[in-house]
A and B are shown apart, each in its own frame.
Chain A
Amino acid sequence: TQLLEQSPQFLSIQEGENLTVYCNSSSVFSSLQWYRQEPGEGPVLLVTVVTGGEVKKLKRLTFQFGDARKDSSLHITAAQPGDTGLYLCAGSLNTGTASKLTFGTGTRLQVTL
């Protein structure tokens, strides 16, 4: 059973467009993280959100944690080719540790010129 469902699975857009990736679950998480993974590399942490309703911005990326701490979204404004990669959300079911991180299946984003 996949605890974290991501949508869409694939997204191909042109440079300059906006996009939103969703991460949904029926479980309540103590925190949720977003990672980006490029081919041949390990996932790299982008952000951690811990409070229901929290919004964090990282340049053109905006992350939101749902009020009930069951879902999250990642919005990219004016996408660039350098944003291409696999985006993974991960929820932590234990407070204060990374021991039980559960990953979503990922959203593969391709941004073309």
Chain B
Amino acid sequence: EAQVTQNPRYLITVTGKKLTVTCSQNMNHEYMSWYRQDPGLGLRQIYYSMNVEVTDKGDVPEGYKVSRKEKRNFPLILESPSPNQTSLYFCASGRNTEAFFGQGTRLTVV
């Protein structure tokens, strides 16, 4: 089954404790992206990658890092999480102009 898989689905952590959210896709898409979704602000792009070893900032990259060492994986790294990074995160992969989303990771930073 074609899918984008994120882990974990839910995460509660403390301020400053480094964390990684994994994302994997099995559709051989070159494009992958991370979004955060917040009430009243909609979906905002954090980082995206057009291919292996090629990443670029989206609209809200501060406080996040990404890497694209393999085509199928695109982890999101929060080196020192803060409460304002509490949000619902989505990974997506795409072809042409269409994006396919994972099920989301709800992150709470206390």
Residues of A in contact with B (beta carbons under 8 Å apart): 2, 30-31, 33, 40-45, 48, 50, 88, 90, 92, 96-106
Where chain B touches its partner, the secondary structure class is strand
With A30-B97, A88-B42, A101-B33 known, 19 other A-B pairs at CB within 8 A are A42-B4, A42-B101, A43-B90, A43-B99, A50-B97, A97-B50, A98-B31, A98-B33, A98-B96, A98-B97, A99-B33, A99-B48, A99-B50, A100-B45, A101-B45, A101-B97, A101-B99, A103-B35, A106-B42
Chain B residues with CB below 8 A from A90, complex form: 43, 99
Chain A residues with CB below 8 A from B31, complex form: 97-99
What number of B residues sit within 8 Å (CB to CB) of A? 26
Could you tell me if A41 and B97 are in contact, using CB atoms closer than 8 angstroms? no
Residue of A at shortest CB range from B56? A99
Residues of B in contact with A (beta carbons under 8 Å apart): 4, 31, 33, 35, 40-45, 48, 50, 56, 90, 92, 94-104
